[in-house]
Structures are given as structure tokens and as C-alpha cells.
Structure 1
Amino acid sequence: MHSSMSSVAILLFARPAVQEAVCKPLTGARQRDERTWQALEALTWAKIKATNLPAFVSHQLVTQPQGDSFGRQLRRAAQAVLDQGYETVLCIGNDSPSLRVSDLKAAAQLAQSDGPDQLGTLPIGADGRGGVYLVGLNRASLAHADAFETLPWQTNQLASALTSYLRQQGQSCPSLTATHHDWNHRYDIRLGELVGEWRWLHALTDALQATRRGVYTGKLAFEPFRSLAPSGLRAPPLA
């Protein structure tokens, strides 16, 4: 095991909020979608910073050519982090608001451990629908660019295909115990799953409660957030 966590960094792999609002509208209104994605990124970043691990945001780290595939963009961003001198990069998105700091710390601990037969250890967090909300990557896992980039990203076949690919590259791929759902569509929103500090949840609430359709009316959108922080303006513990 490595002597410190300095060999592990976290990559928040996400598009700028203005692009997320176009690709993944959650509220039905462009400005509210932008505010929602800004709040989701801020919430995720607050959890990342709470780990005290080195961290990077992909859209600030590298400029992605328009039209590049998801797999190519992820490989380029992950490689940019590894080029900073880290051995492993834990890649997460901005669309799993139930993610906890303890999940990130558990993944970092696994990434520092030696797998069976001294294999590299790259943890994977499953999203319950065949995708992943977290994956560890190292230089060996990115060495075969074409194979990596053409994995079935953003499909319900990813978790299985990614695990098989990493094992073929000689990596150990332990699964995190926690399962988290992504928010990609309006019907994915589960307010009761939100975890984090209240000030970040409050910003997300403001973005969502302005929506006036169906279950997203102001009262129904806001009241579940109130239940997360019954006193002291804090939601359930980050950890």
C-alpha cells in the first residue's frame, strides 16, 4: 500500500453547466437547467474537497474538441490528471447527488491497495442500471486508446464491459458497496436521495423549485429538501 493518498486524485468529469443544460434538460426551462447544473456541480465539488484529495474539473483542465466521443473526452481528461504525476484518477460525474464523501474515501483507499498478484486496483461504483458513477483509471488502463474509447459509454452495458476491459488490462476491479443513481432526465430526479451540506442543497432547491410542471411544482419540490435539514440548516452528514 502506498504511504499516502497523494498518489490518488479525483476528476470531476463534466461539461460546463450551459452545455449540460442543452444535453440533459431537467426542468424544462433553459435558464433553470443551467442553474440546476451549476448547483449540482457545486454540490459535487464540495464533497470532493471534503476528502482532502487533489482534484480537477475536466472542463477547466482540458479543452475538448467539439464532436469527440464521450470515451475519447474521458480518456483525454483522465490522462491529463495522470500527467500531473498521480498514479490513479477516480473519475466521477456531476449527476449523482446521493454520492457521499465516504464513497470517495473508500474508493481512494482501494486505489492505494495492491490487488491479487500485485495487480493495479481500480474501483468501480455501479449505478444500479448497468452504468457506473465512479471508475478508477491508471496509465495501463488508458494504454489501448481505441478499445477504451469504444466501450459502450452511457449505456446499461457499461459496467460489465468496463470491468471486463480493465481486467483484460491486468487490473483488479473491486466494486464499491454503495449504489447511486444518475440524474439524466426529469424522471430520474429523486429529491429524497440528496446528500450534502445545506447551503449547496439550498442552491439546487432554488433552481428546481421554480419549475411549475407536475411533481416539480414549488411546494412538492421544496418540502423534501426541508426534511433533509430539520435543524441547524444541515442536511444528512456528508460522510
Structure 2
Amino acid sequence: MKKSLSAQLSVTVVSLILGLALAAQFKNVQRVGGSVSLQRTQELTRQVQKLEQENEALEARIQEYERRIKEFENAVQSEDQSNRLIYEELERTRMLAGLVDVQGPGVVVTVNVKHVNEWGQDAIVQNVRYDDLLKLVNELNAAGAEAIAINDERIIATTEIRNAGDYIVINTNRYSSPFEIKAIGNPDTLEAALKLLGGVADDLGVYLQINIKRVDNIRIPKYRGTFQYKFAKPVQDTNARS
């Protein structure tokens, strides 16, 4: 009887110790991994939303291409309609190349230096660097921005953003703080991408003033420079000849 009672008591004590150990480990995992799990959840949610939007955009693009193919087929019978479709396609190409003014909803991001008071004197934490602007532009592009401008300089494929002494050069023009970045696209997606916990704006906000504002209608001017191709030439489709 005593042996049975002793065995039951031993099992109870071991079970209690294991239960306390598991409970302590669970609390420790919650405490250590809570913030990481939240960040990971936000990142995965953003990726899922982006994939859903890309899928919807691709489906819409397929429908648009099918519609335009049908229009071109019908336009063969009408010279005036054919000319109209060619003009519309030209305008669309110009818009994609950044050669026309565009407008639409999006966000406006203001980037400026941050002032602090040290020893009774006003001081700047750090000047705005060219790579700060590049990080913001890249994040906006990744979030689906359709048009971007910095201080009304349209950002296109050939745009350079680089340091030049105390200035930052954009499209061969020099600028200094503050910088205003305009981006046209889905305001919810653009704002969420920039405000992601641990994201670009969060990191830059340590030493810069970053203000993100949603705007219903943003106007972005066209690229004012010129294109010069001295070495690049279109590839001739040899298969089309045969």
C-alpha cells in the first residue's frame, strides 16, 4: 500500500514539474517571438494582397488586349477607325514612357531633415542622402506605383538619382531638402507598403522626417528631358521575314 501511494506521489510530482516547465517555455516563446510573428504576419499579408492585385491586373490586361485585338480586326474595314486606334496606342505608349502628364489617386511623401537640440543649439541629425530617396522609390515601385516624381521630376527608366556635393541630382537637375515624392497608384497599397513595421519609412524615420499623406488626385508632370540612342538599335525579327 505504501509502495503504491509512493509511486502515485512520484508520478504526480513529475507531472507537476513537467507541466510547470512547459508553461514557462510557452510563455518565453510568446514573449520572444511575439513581435517577430507580428512583423511576419504583416509581411505575408502584404504579399498576399500584392499577389491578388497582380492577378486582378493581369486578368484585366488580358481582357484589355482581347478587346483591342477585336477593335483592330474591326478597324481593318474602316480607315478612320484604324487611325484613331493607332493614335490611342501611341498615347498609351507615351504615357508608359513618362512623356505625358498624368493624374490620379496615390500618396505624397515628404522627406526632410530632422532637427535636434544639442547643448542648447539646433543641429541636423543627418542630411537626406540619394539612397534614402532610392529606397522610397523602390518600395513604391514594388507596391505597384504607376507614376512617380520627385520634386516634379518624373522618374523614368533613365532617371539618375545621385549625390553632387551638398545636392542630389535628379534628371540632371540639382535639389536639396525638402524632397516631395508623388506616386500614383492604389493609395491603400502604397501607404501600407511604406508604413510596414520595420519597413523603409520606419527605418528612415530614425534620422529623417518622413510624412506620408494620401491624396485623391495627384498630378505628375511628364519627363522634360530628351532621349538619345546612339548605340542601341531595335532587333530585327528574322523569323518574320521567312
Q: Compare the two structures and name the one with the higher strand fraction.
A: 2
Q: Could you say which structure has the larger radius of gyration? A: 2
TM range (shorter): under 0.3
TM-score by length of 1: 0.24
